[in-house]
Amino acid sequence: MKLDPSECDSESEEEEMGEKSARVRKPNKQRQRSNNRPGFFQFSAESWDHARTIGKQMILWAFRGQSDANWGLTTTIERATEYFGNWPDLPPSIRAGREQLILYDFQRRAHHYITSPPSDGDLVEWLALIQHHGGPTRLLDFTHSFYVAAFFALERAVTDAAVWCINLDRLEDAISAKVESGNVEDETIYDINRRHISIAHQFLEAGSPQSLVLNLEPERMNERLTVQQGLFLFPCDLSLPFDQNLAATFDTDRESIFDDSRFWDEVDYDAGINLDEVAVVKNYHPTAVPFRGAERFGKYECYRSKPVSGA
């Protein structure tokens, strides 16, 4: 379904969405390092306007919408192996072996369906293609757009939904502290992405795990990633669930991020919230609250990002 951009609430709101998307992709952002311990918070939006007020502040954040707020953050390969038992209880050889088998079989057959497959060594793009075609991988889908995430959270929700928000600045601080990266102060976001891809390949090829999560995008974006303004979070240690990799990245325990009792009880939406030192936010969307406009914004974001046929 194509959405007419004129259906947005106002011209200013349309411009606001375009500005946000452009700022997310700004290539020459100078990084300001922080030594403060990142925070982890949850809040329940009182309306769509309140949710947008928070979302508009989140420049250089990643978002994931989930239609059930009780769901954790789990990858498709974790969910696929539940048939064999709980993910942490499986021997590491089985976990790594399953991923290698899926990757190998997909590479052997892809030429029947893909006219321009990745090079054999571009494992991140291969995993992105497997994810695109519905196969299980360690990749967890996120988007640069708060609106797209809200759309996916609310489109089919029958209970309280949620948008998970990851501060990419704080994530990069954590990654740089754990992986030797040299001088990164003058890196663009494209340099950072290529470095993260290189780190991911090291873990995929060497098989020596580290409890760490990387944010990355394949160098060649498929249509789904382009339309959804997508990126992936990549857990480096397959012996642990995704949520434990994420907690270890920020030097904390799982409960610090996933404990539902850690709420902001009162939020002054007019004054705004200082999110600079916050690493992870869980934004609840209660079904009792009408979020009129969320679907329209999400569909418009996807429509505006869709490649033009024949261009």
pLDDT band at 245 (very low <50, low <70, confident <90, very high): very high
Q: What is the pLDDT of residue 52?
A: 82
Query: Looking at the predicted structure, is the pLDDT value of residue 247 above 80?
Result: yes
> Minimal CA–CA distance to 216: which of 123, 100, 78, 118?
123
Q: What is the pLDDT of residue 9?
A: 45
| Mean pLDDT across the chain | 77
Query: Looking at the predicted structure, is the pLDDT value of residue 32 above 50?
Result: no
Q: What is the pLDDT of residue 51?
A: 82
Query: Looking at the predicted structure, is the pLDDT value of residue 300 above 90?
Result: no
**If you average pLDDT over each of 15-19, 125-129, 294-298, which comes out highest?**
125-129
Q: Distance between CA atoms of 7 and 62, rounded to whole angstroms? A: 26
Percent of the chain at pLDDT > 90 equals 35
The label of the residue with tokens 């954790």 reads: 72
Q: Distance between CA atoms of 275 and 124, rounded to whole angstroms? A: 30
Q: Distance between CA atoms of 153 and 136, rounded to whole angstroms? A: 21
Q: What is the pLDDT of residue 270?
A: 59
Out of 92-96, 144-148, 282-286, which region has the weakest mean confidence (pLDDT)?
Answer: 92-96
pLDDT band at 155 (very low <50, low <70, confident <90, very high): confident
- Cβ–Cβ under 8 Å, residues 166 and 38: no
Mean pLDDT of 87-112: 81
- Cβ–Cβ under 8 Å, residues 242 and 235: yes
The 10s digit of each residue's pLDDT in 55-67 is 888 889 999 999 9
pLDDT band at 263 (very low <50, low <70, confident <90, very high): low
The 10s digit of each residue's pLDDT in 133-142 is 899 999 999 9
Percent of the chain at pLDDT > 70 equals 70
Query: Looking at the predicted structure, is the pLDDT value of residue 186 above 60?
Result: yes
